[in-house]
A = this chain, B = another copy of it.
Amino acid sequence: MSKTLRIDVWSDIACPWCYVGKRRLEAALAGFAHRDEVEVVWRSFELDPSAPKVQPGPADYAGRLARKYGTTVAKADEMIRTMTATAARDGLTMRFDRAQPGNTFDAHRLLHLARARGLQDAVKERFFRAYMTDGEAIGDVETLTRLALEAGLDRDEVAAALAGDAWADAVRDDEGEARANNIRGVPFFVFDGRYAVSGAHPAESLAKVLAQAWSERAPAVADGEVCGPEGCA
Interface size class of A (residues with CB under 8 A): 35 or more
Q: A193 contacts B2, CB within 8 Å?
A: yes
Q: Is A68 an interface residue (CB 8 A)?
A: yes
Q: A195 contacts B220, CB within 8 Å?
A: yes
- Known contacts: A69-B231, A233-B185. The answer to whether A199 contacts B226 by CB under 8 A is yes
Q: Pick the contact of A184: B18, B177, B194, B228 (CB < 8 A).
A: B228
User: Which of A9-17, A30-38, A117-125, A141-149 makes up part of the contact surface?
Assistant: A9-17
Q: Is A222 an interface residue (CB 8 A)?
A: yes
- When distances are taken between beta carbons in the complex, the residues of chain B under 8 Å from A188 are 226
CA distance A220 to B13 in the complex (A): 25
CA distance A219 to B191 in the complex (A): 9
Q: Is A156 an interface residue (CB 8 A)?
A: no
Q: Which residue of B lies closest to A83 (CB)?
A: B232
- When distances are taken between beta carbons in the complex, the residues of chain B under 8 Å from A186 are 226-228
- When distances are taken between beta carbons in the complex, the residues of chain B under 8 Å from A48 are 229
Q: Is A200 an interface residue (CB 8 A)?
A: yes
Interface of chain A residues 67 through 102 with chain B (CB within 8 A)? 68-69, 83
- When distances are taken between beta carbons in the complex, the residues of chain B under 8 Å from A15 are 227, 232
- Known contacts: A181-B1, A228-B47, A228-B184. The answer to whether A223 contacts B199 by CB under 8 A is yes
Tell me how far the C-beta of A29 lies from the nearest C-beta in chain B, rounded to whole angstroms: 17
Q: Is A165 an interface residue (CB 8 A)?
A: no
Q: Which residue of B lies closest to A45 (CB)?
A: B227
Q: B196 contacts A224, CB within 8 Å?
A: no
* Inter-chain pairs besides A17-B225, A69-B231, 20 sampled, C-beta below 8 Å: A1-B181, A15-B227, A15-B232, A47-B228, A47-B229, A65-B231, A185-B228, A186-B227, A187-B226, A188-B226, A194-B216, A196-B221, A197-B221, A198-B221, A198-B223, A198-B224, A199-B225, A200-B225, A200-B226, A201-B224
Q: What are 11 sample pairs from A and B whose C-beta atoms fall under 8 A apart?
A: A2-B193, A15-B227, A15-B232, A16-B227, A17-B227, A18-B227, A47-B228, A48-B229, A188-B226, A198-B223, A205-B222
